A and B are shown apart, each in its own frame.
Chain A
Amino acid sequence: MTELWVEKYRPKKVSEVVGNKESIKAFLDWMKSWELGKPLKKAALLYGPAGVGKTSLVLAYAREHGYDVVEVNASDWRNEERMKAIVGESSLQATLDGSVKKIILVDEVDGIAGKEDAGGLSALRKIIDESRIPIAMVANNPWNPRLASIRERSLMLGFRRLKKLEIVKRLKEICAKEGIKASDKALKALAERSEGDLRSAINDLQAIASGRKTIGEKDVEALGERNRVREIFDALRIIFNTKSLRGARAALEGLEVDLDTIYTWLVDNAPLQIPDADDLADAFEALAKADLFLSKASREQKWKLTRYAIPLMTGGVALARRHKPEGFVKFEFPSKIRFMQKTKAERELRLSIASKIAEKLHLSTAKAMKEMLPYLSFIASRDERFAEAISKYFELTPAEISYLAGKEKKEVKPAAKRKKAARRKKG
């Protein structure tokens, strides 16, 4: 799949950040006070709804002014040791000569307040007090009473939902760069749906633009429920970070996504979120057991079995995750789905070749694929006459025969190595 447009078109400069001009100016003033060596406040808390440019502003500023960003995810704060390793050191490093400029970016601060242990908050408070570099925090809702002490220490920067026109303007710019013709009505409808959330508007745009060059109002109507992906992200965040089976199970409650979908996301994100090999082995064992229950449940209509699958796939993964990755690792769209999209054409080609072989050679398609295709491909790649002959005999299309004959010539391994491997096998 191509790059996500929300990443591709993330603002590179502060001037490209859409809307919220006042808060942006206040942020710039605050950073300027750091540059002058007299910070107004140690920390700034950028708060407001999702997708309005809070994180983008910090990243754009850092990029424009040559700062390294030390990014921390809320879940990291609960582990004091790791937190010190990541943030503590960075925050204490004086940057007297200005050669390495750093800014700490803490995502989802409100996530810490919601957790049962308050250790993370007090640690964060301490870091703010001792820090010698700017700390930018991001939150959707900063008004939780437990965040009071953080609020006191921070410059409060409120961000509002973006105006429809602001969103339309940005979408237009993206369409121009991607060579897409979109009607005004379509873009307005996208902006409307987004409810002031530019990120979801861009995601929606990319979703309907895939495979076409013009977009009309009808295409926008065809979009599925907008909140689906965000819902999944929220659920994953809880599942990977919880410490209790009940908490993990609760993450799936009220979710408008089916179990199989969330399962796919879990399986494909587990290797990213779980860096330790032992942890990952345990997590996959839990996922594999959950899979057996899920398969049995749907195959044999034994729905009761899902009640074992859910704690295994949620709590089982969470409990296995004893170590966390360095820094914040984003959740990703399942790689399985990407893989299947990427290989679709090749898979169809192979299937078509195999079914033609199967018919002539009295085999099933599966057997033709497995037992004939590799050999025919091997021979056809070195014998043109043979390639021509089987192309006629099996009535292959030019694309099919060139796939069969072309591709894998180079992959033949030197004989010596093979021999060794095969000897070992015999022993």
Chain B
Amino acid sequence: MSIELVETLPWVEKYRPKSLEEIIDQEEVVNSLRNVLKTKAVPHMLFAGPPGVGKTATAHAFARDLFGERYLEDGHFMEINASDERGIQTIREKVKMFARQIPMGGLGFKILLLDESDQLTDDAQHAFRRVMEQYSATCRFILVANYSNRIIEPIQSRCAVFRFKPLVKKHIIEHLRRIAEKEGLEIDDQALEVIYDFSEGDMRKAINTLQASASISKKIDEKVVYQVMGYVSRGEVRRVLELALGGKFSEMRDEVRRILYVQGIMPSDLISAIYRELFYLDLSEEDKLELLDLLGEVDYRISEGATPEVQLMAFLAKIAAKGKKR
């Protein structure tokens, strides 16, 4: 890769930790992994924790420290994302293909990273557990998940479980400041606060917000950050709620469909955004409580397998009815 290309990469890639030494926080995890590096006895591992705290990055950094710079190119390491390939069949086939050949100069085994493994259904997990046993001589697995309780017990018991903690606010801000310095930015404390709040502790989101802010101005204050935030989120949810309150049903429905089907926002994320906005709607407290109850009902039904669009419409139609009476 040319230097110039690296210079203009997305910063989440450019500043991705290259080795365990660069992982922020997570001391306990990193210490344990250092021991593994010394003995080279790599167990199956489960990395669990909230989004954007460095689980996948740690897996890559660990593999690089273990196998060297060319851990990917030389075929020591492969990554599969369970949310893209839910079928256990494709996973099994890929694992088989991958584990069949042991590369020269390696450690006698490869590592397969299964990201978002909590997206696998129970059935797929049970099948996967057998895959783990079948190939454990030649392949070690790192499973990455947000919630370890969504991973079935038999898999958990075969893994060393590493719990990743939410990143400390101070460390996120320090990291942002380091990046800002390297990129020649001027950023004030207020702006860093706002980025942190917006990121909800997710480093990827924080870095992305910083880079987007930098594309507006090399001098970043909170106004600049708000401009980015207004673009990337929240704005459209407010718009949906305002259209609903104003009784503009079909426009509102189109907007919801854009969010769900074109932008590909997860229904649960949309509901969370609505939840946050609900408290600030221009309605009586009683109405808001009633709507909150219904939103919970809708959320529950979706978790039970109901269709998000219709459930959301039921909720928004209720808002429209409340809006009419204002």
Chain A contacts to B: CB under 8 angstroms:
267, 271, 277-278, 280-281, 283-285, 287-288, 291-292, 295-296, 299, 335-336, 339-340, 343, 346-347, 350-351, 354-355, 358, 360-367, 369-372, 374-376, 378-379, 382-383, 385-386, 388-390, 392-393, 408, 411-413, 415, 417-419, 421-422, 424-426
Contact = CB atoms under 8 A, between A and B. Distances in A.
B311 A291 contact: yes
A371 B10 CA distance: 12
Interface stretch (B35-43, B102-110, B181-189, B210-218): B210-218
Contact of A267 (B277, B310, B323): B310
B60 A362 contact: yes
Contacts of B253: 271, 335
Contacts of B194: 422
A279 to B, nearest CB: 9
Contact of A412 (B4, B230, B247, B310): B230
A288 B310 contact: yes
B227 A413 contact: yes
B306 A291 contact: yes
A363 to B, nearest CB: 7
A419 B223 contact: yes
Given A284-B318, A369-B264, A418-B227, 8 more contacts: A291-B301, A291-B311, A335-B253, A364-B84, A364-B119, A408-B231, A412-B231, A413-B230
A296 B304 contact: yes
Nearest to A413: B230
A335 B258 CA distance: 13
Nearest to B13: A361
Interface stretch (B129-137, B158-166, B170-178, B233-241): B233-241
B120 interface: no
B222 A419 contact: yes
Contacts of A424: 280
A362 B321 CA distance: 44
Contacts of A363: 56, 81, 115
Contacts of B79: 362
Contacts of A382: 215-216
A336 B260 CA distance: 12
Contact of A366 (B226, B229, B247, B266): B266
B112 interface: no
A339 B208 CA distance: 31
A285 B226 CA distance: 37
Contacts of A418: 226-227, 229-230, 235
B257 interface: yes
A383 B9 contact: no
Contacts of A364: 81-84, 115-116, 119
Interface in B272-324: 276-277, 280, 298, 301, 304-307, 309-311, 313-314, 317-318, 320-321, 323-324
A389 B264 contact: no
Nearest to A292: B306
A421 B8 contact: no
Given A296-B305, A375-B208, A390-B10, A421 B230 contact: yes
Nearest to A360: B13
Contact of B231 (A277, A358, A366, A378): A378
A419 B226 CA distance: 6
A369 B264 CA distance: 7
Given A288-B298, A292-B301, A425-B280, A389 B314 contact: no
5 contacts: A267-B310, A296-B304, A369-B264, A389-B7, A393-B5
Most buried by B among A360, A362, A376, A412: A362
Nearest to A387: B8
Nearest to B309: A336
B92 interface: no
Nearest to B308: A291
Most buried by A among B4, B8, B247, B253: B8
Contacts of B13: 360-361
B95 to A, nearest CB: 18
Given A291-B310, A375-B211, A378-B232, A277 B321 contact: yes
Most buried by A among B224, B228, B238, B298: B228
A72 B91 CA distance: 60
B205 interface: yes
Contacts of B226: 415, 418-419, 422
A364 B294 CA distance: 31
A281 B324 CA distance: 12
A389 B8 contact: yes
Contacts of A374: 231-233
Nearest to A386: B8
A284 B215 contact: no
A280 to B, nearest CB: 5
Contact of A277 (B224, B234, B280, B320): B320
B249 A271 contact: yes
A292 B306 CA distance: 5
Contacts of A295: 304-307
Contacts of B301: 288, 291-292
B250 A335 contact: yes
B215 A386 contact: yes
B97 interface: no
A425 B119 CA distance: 31
Contacts of B204: 371
Given A288-B298, A361-B12, A378-B215, A354 B264 contact: yes
A385 B8 contact: yes
A355 B235 CA distance: 25
A365 B84 contact: yes
B295 to A, nearest CB: 12
Contacts of B209: 375
B311 A366 contact: no
Nearest to A264: B310
Given A296-B304, A360-B13, A422 B81 contact: no
B280 A280 contact: no
B224 A346 contact: no
A181 B226 CA distance: 56
B9 A288 contact: no
A283 B249 CA distance: 14
A362 B318 contact: no
B265 A288 contact: no
A129 B226 CA distance: 68
B60 A350 contact: no
A351 to B, nearest CB: 8
Contacts of B229: 418, 422
B83 A280 contact: no
A361 B197 contact: no
B254 interface: yes
Contacts of A379: 211-212, 215
